[in-house]
Amino acid sequence: MNSDSDLQIAGDILEVPHLLQPAREHPVTVAEFAGLARAIAADRAQWAPLVQYDATSRWYHRLRTGPGYEVWLLSWVPGQGSGVHDHGRSSGVLTLLEGRLTERSRRGSRTLTVGAQRVFAAGYVHEVVNDSLEPAVSLHVYHPGLTDMPMHTARCEARAPRKPAHDALTA
C-alpha cells in the first residue's frame, strides 16, 4: 500500500465510470494518429509483405481507412522523390519504416531514419527524396484523407530565417 499518499480508492473503481476513458476505436488527436502510425510500424506483418518497388513510377498502397483519415504505404527506390508539394487541406504524420529519406522544406533539410515521425499541418510544403543507396518505405496518415496534393514549382531550399508572422510553414 502507498502510505505516503492521501489518495485512496474506496470501493470498486469500475463503479466510477466518469473516471474511465473508453478506448477509442479510431484516432482523433495528433498524438493518437502518431500512435496509430507507430503501432502499424511495429507490426511488420501488416505492411512488409505488401511493399513493392517500382523504378518507373512511385509506388503507393492505401493500407487502411477510418472515419476521416487514411493510411498509405509508400516505397522509394534510390533517387525517387515526391517533388515539392503540399497536402491540400490534409494534415498528416509521416513515419519512416525502412531505409532513409531526406525531407526538404523552407526550414532546411533533415534526414529521416527508421522510426522518425514528422507531423505536419495543412498547407505545409515539403519535398521528400530518397537520396540514399537503399530502398526506403514510409507510412503516411492523412486527416482528412488526401484528396489534393498541389505541386509547387519552387524548390525547397533553406532560406534565411523569417519572422514567424510571415512564415507560412506550420510544422
Report d(CA 1, CA 22) in Å as an integer.
27
Pairing of strands 117-120, 108-112: unpaired
* Of residues 156, 146, 129, 138, the one with CA closest to residue 87: 146
Any binding-site annotation on 166? no
Any binding-site annotation on 85? yes
Any binding-site annotation on 126? yes
Report d(CA 103, CA 81) in Å as an integer.
10
Instruction: Dig out the grid coordinates for 35 from the structure.
Output: 500512435
* Of residues 147, 150, 142, the one with CA closest to residue 73: 142
The answer to whether 41 touches 115, Cβ cutoff 8 Å, is yes
Binding-site members are: 85, 87, 126
Binding-site members for Fe cation are: 85, 87, 126
